[in-house]
Amino acid sequence: MHHEIIISGFGGQGVLFAGQLLAYAALAEGRHVTWIPSYGPEMRGGTAHCTVIISEKEIGSPLVQHPTAALVMNPPSMEKYAPLVKTDGVLILDATLIEQRSARIDLDEIAIPAKAIADELGTPQIANVVMLGALIAATHVVSIETMNEVIAQHLSARHRDKLEANQRALQRGADWAVARVLT
């Protein structure tokens, strides 16, 4: 198993935190991991992305040119990363914020209304966790159980009151991806 994942959006959408959670979950399951963050000149509102590589074997290079999966949370990220996803890869996009679709028939595209689901759960800032749930269900890169444990371990003290909402968001994202595949 070898996954190369790009997570991208505006600063403030939790893109880097989502990548960290994914990396911690993979480490908890005994995998080799790299996590590289990158953000534009403005932390909040500028562009941000990170790459996560998860592998059963040692990782030769932390660079990702053609990811096996991409989570895109805004239109500029969609434009930049959708064409780069490998054939038979997974593209997960926040359909609440991104109207366009990739038109690629050689990959699995999951358009999930992540922001709308997060709003419905009463915590708009957890759309990133909704998308992680969809990624986990689509790729089985880590288990939902491990990710739930990692969220509980790494949620900051000031956000502890949002633990249950984050865990519900993770499950809602996974359920969305599973239901989409079954229909």
One digit per residue, the tens of pLDDT, for the chain of length 183 reads 899 999 999 888 889 999 999 999 999 999 999 999 986 665 556 678 999 999 999 988 888 889 999 999 999 999 999 999 999 999 999 999 999 999 889 999 999 999 999 999 999 899 999 999 999 999 999 999 999 999 999 988 787 788 899 999 999 999 999 887 654
The C-alpha atoms of residue 62 and residue 64 are separated, in whole angstroms, by: 7
Q: Where are the domains of the chain?
A: 2-182
The CATH homologous superfamily to which domain 2-182 belongs is Pyruvate-ferredoxin oxidoreductase, PFOR, domain III (3.40.920.10)
